Amino acid sequence: MKAFRDHIARNGYSFCERDFKDFYNVLEIAKVDIFHEHFDKDEFILTMTTYRLLPNDALITATCKHHGIRKIATFDSDFERVEFLEVIELEE
């Protein structure tokens, strides 16, 4: 992972720019909604402490709650602690 981060720091994402564009085109064709993150300081802190989540996971959880999202596909088992989210397990 460090090698990848170093590569990005030196060269940016130009090597996969087309892939990103293709990915977003597929999402658009499939009519997948992309929600903007929801941030409320108090809700963020409550979510982080209640579910013992790292900050980024707490932001994802608070955003799901704000938008009424009840299912999440993830490799991260930490979301299993969130009672209102049903984790759809993915195979690695």
63 and 23, same domain (yes or no): no
pLDDT > 90: percent of the chain:
74
Q: What pLDDT does 1 receive? A: 72
Query: CA–CA separation, 4 vs 47, rounded Å?
Result: 31
Its domain, for residue 66, covers 35-92
- At residue 92, the pLDDT reads 65
91 lies in the same domain as 62: yes
| The amino acid at 51 | Y
pLDDT < 50 positions in the chain:
none
CA distance 19 to 5: 18
Residues 12 and 39 in one domain: no
* Total number of domains in the chain: 2
The pLDDT, as a whole number, for residue 48 is: 96
Return the pLDDT at 89.
Answer: 76
Tokens of 9: 């720091």
pLDDT in tens, 41-62: 999 999 999 999 999 999 999 9
Q: Is 13 in the same domain as 52?
A: no
